[in-house]
Structure 1
Amino acid sequence: MKKKPFSVVYEDNHLLIVNKAAGVLVQGDKTKDKTLTDYCREYIAKKYNKPGDVFLHPVHRLDRPVSGLVVFARTSKGLERMMELFRKRDIHKVYWAIVKNRPKEETGKLTHYLVKDEVKNFVTAHEKEVEGSQKAELNYKTLGKLNDHWLLEVRPVSGRPHQIRVQLASMGCPIRGDLKYGFHKPNPDASINLHAFHLVFVHPIKKEKIFLRAALPEEAFWEQYLEFEPVRGKDQHLENTFSG
């Protein structure tokens, strides 16, 4: 059975937030493969019986092999205000990553200066600022070990391309399946074990605090890590605490 490209996590007049399957592009590239944006436009058109073009724009991206939460705006007002939240870093993001190597420190903050080669779609991390670089920061915590791999919770402070992938690789912990950044073998489905797990933000129009969680991929390796996930639904302190 072919897995679904997405499942809906939150939906209202202004926003559509989905849990993206690994392997699905958010926006088009040279492969011309069908994108998450295409799938979600079709979903909106069918559900609301909307003829013609559907207004739906991704507010941010996830890399193709990454799974988890992606935010779309359904109105121009929603798009403008959500982009402003991302710009101001008023969106709280939590990722889970599985790595083979144990981090030297159980918790830590990583700061690098990243340079992206647009032609090769590859990012290099530098300890000090170099020409054309962008500062990238993240916090991580080691949640535990299972099946000879370590589960990390990652909270990016900035939102740079490939940031979590290259920063974890730079501390000797490439993400499972991520050949591009130094893992030794691919995952069977070409995914990498990085999942955009939680989002917390104040709805830009309704002004309500929104707590969202994306279920882990329905895949055997991921599912064993569910034991590290306490019930988060009623945790009003999510933005201040590490899960686990």
Structure 2
Amino acid sequence: MMSAHLQSGEIEILFEDNHLLGISKPVNVPTQEDASGDPDLLNLLKQDLKERYNKPGNVYLGLVHRLDRPVGGAMIFAKTSKAASRLSETVRGRHFRKIYAAVVHGKLPARKGTLKHTLLKDSRTNTVTAVPKGTAGGKDAVLDYQVIGETDRYSLVYIELHTGRSHQIRVQMKEAGCPLFGDQKYGAKLNKPGQQIALWSVIAAFPHPVTKEDVVLQSLPAREFPWAEWPSHIYEEAFAESRL
């Protein structure tokens, strides 16, 4: 687990200008303040901006999208309310590309494909299940995947989300018969307590809210198990052709 004394300076900055701040989120840090009371990313980054630019008073930083606490990788924040509003429109219009890397148990039925499910969230238990289409409260979930590496036990997969449902990748991979490595909630039979979930935001890409130029944030997980089961060039080649 990330220590409680995490400092903003320990967070890698991937992109920054007057409108945006792109970072690589550390694992096990909540995106925003929650019931745990642990240091959260949003407040750490606000404090960093305040100190680096010697800003008096409160610092504005807009949360545009979220990553679950155990997930790390590329994230973008807005430094102005205008940028936040325009980026939120980009997300709603599905012009914000989100590509993840995941290590899953077993082998998927095809090297490349699309998964479509209807997902229903139970807010009381914070769990999500796949349900028949047409179920009250169910929401469509769609992702594309591409297998970029395999071992006897695991597959390394790049995943592009087309919808942003809670726990979407974790549930859809489970439904495909390949739960994520380390996922205690949706793969408890295959994973051991204490293992870190192997899910990482490797690419966040979108048009800049002001200049309209393409912004592409890239981040890779640390070279440790299970990510280190594949050489670095596998990830780099996937970056180059990515985009599934």
- Given the two structures, how large is their TM-score scaled by the length of structure 2? 0.90
- Aligned-residue offset at 1:238: 4.5
Aligned residues: 237
1:170 aligns with 2:175: yes
1:42 aligns with 2:47: yes
Secondary structure (helix, strand or coil) at the match of 1:154 reads strand
Name the residue aligned to 1:212.
217
- Aligned-residue offset at 1:232: 7.0
- The partner residue of 2:235 within 206, 213, 229 is 229
Secondary structure (helix, strand or coil) at the match of 1:28 reads coil
In 2, Cα distance between the equivalents of 1:141 and 1:30?
36
Letter of the 1:21 partner, please give it. P
In 2, Cα distance between the equivalents of 1:18 and 1:75?
16
1:144 aligns with 2:165: no
Unaligned 5+ runs, structure 1: none
Within-5 A mapping of 1:116-155: 116-146=121-151, 148-155=153-160
Secondary structure (helix, strand or coil) at the match of 1:113 reads strand
Name the residue aligned to 1:77.
82
- Aligned-residue offset at 1:231: 5.3
Unaligned 5+ runs, structure 2: none
1:59 aligns with 2:64: yes
- The partner residue of 1:90 within 85, 89, 95 is 95
* Conserved? CA contact 1:82–1:204, under 8 Å: yes
In 2, Cα distance between the equivalents of 1:63 and 1:127?
25
In 1, Cα distance between the equivalents of 2:226 and 2:193?
10
Secondary structure (helix, strand or coil) at the match of 1:44 reads helix
- Aligned-residue offset at 1:156: 0.7
Within-5 A mapping of 1:94-113: 94-113=99-118
Letter of the 2:13 partner, please give it. V
**Which has the higher mean CA deviation after the structures are superposed, 98-107 or 139-148?**
139-148
In 1, Cα distance between the equivalents of 2:48 and 2:36?
22
- Aligned-residue offset at 1:223: 3.3
In 2, Cα distance between the equivalents of 1:143 and 1:156?
17
In 2, Cα distance between the equivalents of 1:232 and 1:137?
21
Shift of the 137–232 alpha-carbon distance from structure 1 to 2, 3 Å rule, reads closer
Shift of the 231–106 alpha-carbon distance from structure 1 to 2, 3 Å rule, reads closer
* Conserved? CA contact 1:57–1:79, under 8 Å: yes
- Aligned-residue offset at 1:58: 1.3
Shift of the 103–232 alpha-carbon distance from structure 1 to 2, 3 Å rule, reads closer
Q: CA RMSD in A?
A: 2.1
Shift of the 232–143 alpha-carbon distance from structure 1 to 2, 3 Å rule, reads closer
In 1, Cα distance between the equivalents of 2:174 and 2:67?
18
Name the residue aligned to 2:35.
30
In 1, Cα distance between the equivalents of 2:54 and 2:234?
41
Secondary structure (helix, strand or coil) at the match of 1:65 reads coil
- Aligned-residue offset at 1:49: 0.7
Secondary structure (helix, strand or coil) at the match of 2:220 reads coil
- Aligned-residue offset at 1:127: 4.1
- Aligned-residue offset at 1:220: 4.2
In 2, Cα distance between the equivalents of 1:6 and 1:204?
23
